[in-house]
Amino acid sequence: MKTIFSVPPIFYSLSLISSLALGLAGANAVAKPAVDYVNPMIGTDAHGHVYPGATVPFGMVQLSPDTRDNTWDGSSGYHYSDTSILGFSHNHLTGTGCPDLGNIMLMPTTGELKLTPGGKPGDGYRARFSHDQETSRPGYYEVYLPDYQVKVELTATARAGLHRYTFPGSSASHVVLDLQHGIGNNVLEAQLKLEDDHTASGYRRSEGWGGAKVYYFVMEFSRPFDSAGVAQGDRDVAGRETTGKETKGHFDFKTSAGEQILVRVGISTVSVEGARNNLHTEIPGWNFDAVAKAASQQWEKALGVFAIESPDNNFKQTFYTSLYHAEMAPTLLSDVDGQFRGPDEKVHQTKGYDYYTAMSLWDTFRAENPLLTLVQPARVHDFINTMLDHFKIFGHQTLPVWPEGGKETWCMIGNHAIPVIAEAYLKGFHDFDVNEALADMIATTSLDREQLNDYRDRGFIPTGDHVQSVSKVLEYAYDDACIGRLAKALGQNEVAEKYAKRSQNWENVFDPSTGFMRGKNTDGSWVTPFGPKEINSINFNEYTEANAWQYNFFVLHNMPALIGKLGGDDKFTARLDEMFDTTETIPNLAMIPDVTGVIGMYAHGNEPVHHVAYLYNYAGQPWKTQTRVRQVANTLYTNTPAGICGNDDCGQMSAWYVFTALGFYPVDPASGNYALGSPLVDKATLKLDSKFAKGRSFTVIAKNNSSQNPYIQSATLNGKALTRSWISHTEITDGGTLVLTMGPQPNHDFGSAPADRPPTP
């Protein structure tokens, strides 16, 4: 990326300049805004699957370049290894393992008009680019296209995008609109209408991940186009309107050197008029710099909840970029008037809240949703009400599993809206109908889909092709524990007891002879042969994108019982050590790309292990957690385009890093407790929202912190000695200061006593 420096217009004597420079340098070191530390290119290479374009926190619009329109590593539409750009479309997924969206793509060109992208630059409108002529920062993206001598600048509001194209002098400048284009999806029908000499509108209906979706749009130019046309494929058709599967459009200009043409685009899932209302409400004028500044200010407000101190600039950039990624999803689906198209494909109206989509719940219930209860508490009720409305609208008696583009994808396993809702309520978020929520949870787990009937009736799920039997038992058990906890909080003791008892179904897949969670046959016998290292990569018989090692510790709600099953503290921690330290390898690792970030049998690039490094705390050996979390954080996260070791999954990978950098992590999210680790920050202060917290701020201070001093020697909380290896959510939101004194050698006494270990509710 390139950096632009501003030079003051006034010149002083040499000595005065030196004095001012030193003073300004010191001031900037203190006052540099959080947004300036974000590097959106982190995660655009390797398997991170994030996009570098312009968006605002949780925005419906993600205006970003598309360098490819398919492949697993092209799920976001952009990959750092690519050298050409197809165009700039208005919505993208962040960090997912499936591609979709890429709707309403524009491409500025000069010279001969071409309406298809081509396989390489020169064949069609596709254009070369290089990273040294590319800039990305929160709310803004810029790239130069040398083939056309056009500079592209992009910014966004929540529901609209704004393009600024700086053209060369040319009698044949164009803006191409390609409604056939999508990322990993096929167009079913697209319509384009030229409304007047500066406005076009239409829609794109596609079939992709989760089924059919439709996005409407209105686009307006800052000056009338000199000519325009509508097309199917690479040929113009008569008239000012066209409908079909290969719908294209072109808007033609005679431009002078350096002339800037702006295009503002509103989108909606509801209607063209919904898109127009979104556009005119959020971008009523043509001041690109003002819109970009407002986007940056939104990000500064979101990121500035943390003030951190560290001498390591790379760490600061990695931290704030991780926080940035964690606040890109879920994404808005409702228009400014509250209308949205729901999972039933019908239009609905919200009642006093925003409706969201892109909820990667199998991933995000672990760390991202807990993080948002601290840094975005004002949105939590909207997320929960979205889930409850999804249940009512969808008509399938289920809370959302993985909604994307407003549609249910049914992706991944478990019913992890349940822990997200339970966690929120138990943390004090009560602005939703909790009795309705509990009823929805019970209904969701009473279905006969995804082997829930076997789970309920047998207490285990017989193994079979694509069943993922062991993983489902373990994840359903955690969901049940969360239902039980919520029911207990509501005084529904019979329900609480029923689900607490059923949450122990994990014991039915634990084999004491091997010490692993294993698959069973219909008659209850163990499936053989058994190989704990192999990933179920072909038929997903027992484990979900993982092997037996990676699911062996997924008993979040009852870790003391799991420790007992594995032979007590020492044998449990020895098993954890073996997971990280083994020199054996995963024999079929190459067969499934999701399993990345491998350390021994640990695979951080996929979510089932994200809590594992913190489990030593539960066995009274937190100094080993302190070693492991630094090992993972320092080797698998970097300030580079390949700096995320696996799919970011709507921010979960990034949320793990934010928590770990702060020095604590929600192993069991619904418990409201956080296991202590080893902070990467020297100091971090979280600004608390007075509407959701008693305190004004919570500060973590790591005294004597360094790479040579990873171990907690002692701790105080608000000036009082702290010997336990955990803190509670309430202790954070009440405000105060946690001081951890760090050193080079483990303190084997800190957190070792049974009373000092993270509790099980």
Q: What pLDDT, on a 0 to 100 scale, did the predictor assign at position 31?
A: 63
Rounded to the nearest 10 degrees, the angle between the axes of helix 622-636 and helix 652-662 is: 130
Q: What is the DSSP string of 4-49?
A: -----S----HHHHHHHHHHHHHHHHHH--GGGG--TTTTSSTT--
722 DSSP assignment: -
Residue 590 confidence (pLDDT)? 85
Give the domain ranges of the chain.
36-301
Q: What pLDDT is stored for residue 537 in this prediction?
A: 59
Give the number of other Cβ atoms within 10 Å of residue 489's Cβ. Answer: 15
User: The whole model's pTM is what?
Assistant: 0.96
Report how far residue 403's alpha carbon sits from residue 420's, in angstroms, rounded to the nearest whole number. 14
pLDDT (tens digit per residue) in 90-134: 999 999 999 999 999 999 999 999 999 999 999 999 999 999 999
Kindly give, in sequence order, each residue whose CB lies less than 8 Å from that of residue 73, ignoring residues fewer than 6 positions away: 47, 49, 79
Is residue 301 within 8 A of residue 263, CB to CB? The reply is no
Q: Of all helices (H) and strands (E), which one includes residue 201?
A: strand 199-208
pLDDT of residue 668: 98
pLDDT at 538: 61
Tokens at 20, concatenated: 């001012």
Label residue 692 exposed, middle or buried (CB < 10 Å: 0-12, 13-18, 19+): middle
- Decide: 591 and 537 in contact? Cβ < 8 Å: yes
Nearest to 355 by CA among 376, 379, 369, 334: 334
Predicted local distance difference test score (pLDDT) of residue 13? 30
Name the CA dihedral angle for 666, 670, 671, 675, rounded to a multiple of 10 degrees: 0
**540 band by pLDDT with thresholds 50, 70 and 90:** confident
* CA–CA dist 717, 217 (Å, integer): 53
What residue ranges in 76-159 does DSSP mark as E strands?
Answer: 84-85, 87-89, 105-110, 127-128, 134-137, 140-145, 150-156
**Residue 10 clears pLDDT 50, i.e. is over it:** no
Residue whose entry in the numeric block shows the structure tokens 């390949």: 642
Give buried/exposed letters for 22-57 (b at 16+ CB in 10 A, else e). eeeeeeeeeeeebbebbbbbbbbbbbbbbbbbbbbb
SS3 content of the chain, % helix, strand, coil (to 5): 30, 25, 45
Q: Does residue 20 contact residue 155 with C-beta atoms inside 8 Å?
A: no
CB 59 within 8 A of CB 156: yes
Q: Is the pLDDT of residue 37 over 70?
A: yes
Q: What is the mean pLDDT of the chain?
A: 95
571 contact partners, CB below 8 Å, separation of at least 6: none
Q: How many CA atoms lie within 13 A of 603 on its CB side?
A: 28
Among candidates 247, 59, 67, which has minimal Cα distance to 155?
A: 59
| Rounded-to-integer distance, Cα 65 and Cα 102, Å | 9
The token pair that represents 584 in the structure block: 């054996």
- The residue assigned the tokens 């459009």 is 249
175-212 residue pLDDT tens? 999 999 999 999 999 999 999 999 999 999 999 998 99
**Longest Cα pair distance anywhere in the chain, in angstroms?**
89
**What is the model's pLDDT at position 16?**
30
- The pLDDT assigned to 591 comes to 82
pLDDT (tens digit per residue) in 496-528: 999 999 999 999 999 999 999 999 999 999 999
- Provide the 10 A C-beta neighbour count for residue 349: 12
- The pLDDT, as a whole number, for residue 459 is 98
| Model pLDDT, residue 592 | 86
d(CA 286, CA 715): 54
Comparing CA positions, the residue from 345, 315, 402, 337 lying closest to residue 638 is 315
HEC letters along 641-705: CCCECCCCHHHHHHHHHHHHHHCEECCCHHHCEEEECCCCCCEEEEECCCCCCCCCEEEEEEECC
| pLDDT of res. 567 | 98
Name the residue among 398, 388, 464 with its Cα closest to residue 431.
Answer: 388
pLDDT tens sequence across 595-650: 999 999 999 999 999 999 999 999 999 999 999 999 999 999 999 999 999 999 99
What are the tens digits of pLDDT across the range 443-475?
Answer: 999 999 999 999 999 999 999 989 999 999 999
- Give yes or no for residue 18 having a pLDDT over 60: no
Cβ atoms within 10 Å, residue 285? 11
| Pick from 199, 354, 207: nearest CA to 280 | 199
The class of domain 36-301 in CATH terms is mainly beta
pLDDT at 4: 28
What would the mean pLDDT of 538-564 be, rounded to a whole number?
Answer: 94
Tell me the sheet residues that pair with 186. 207
| End-to-end Cα spacing for the chain | 48
Spatial neighbors of 599 by CB under 8 A, at least 6 apart, are: 580, 631, 632, 635, 636
Tell whether the model's pLDDT for residue 19 goes beyond 80. Answer: no
Q: CA-based angle 539:542:544, to the nearest 5?
A: 75
pLDDT surpassing 90 at residue 437: yes
Token couple for 16: 């005065």
**Mind listing the pLDDT tens digit for each residue in 47-83?**
999 999 999 999 999 999 999 999 999 999 999 999 9
E-strand ranges in 475-546 read: 510-511, 516-517
CA–CA distance, 487 with 475 (Å, rounded to integer)? 19
To 10 degrees, the CA torsion angle through 568, 573, 579, 584?
-90
DSSP state of 714: E
Would you list the DSSP string of 397-459? Answer: S---SSEETTEE---SSS-THHHHHHHHHHTT--SS-HHHHHHHHHHHTTSSSTTHHHHHHHS
Mean pLDDT of 534-552: 89
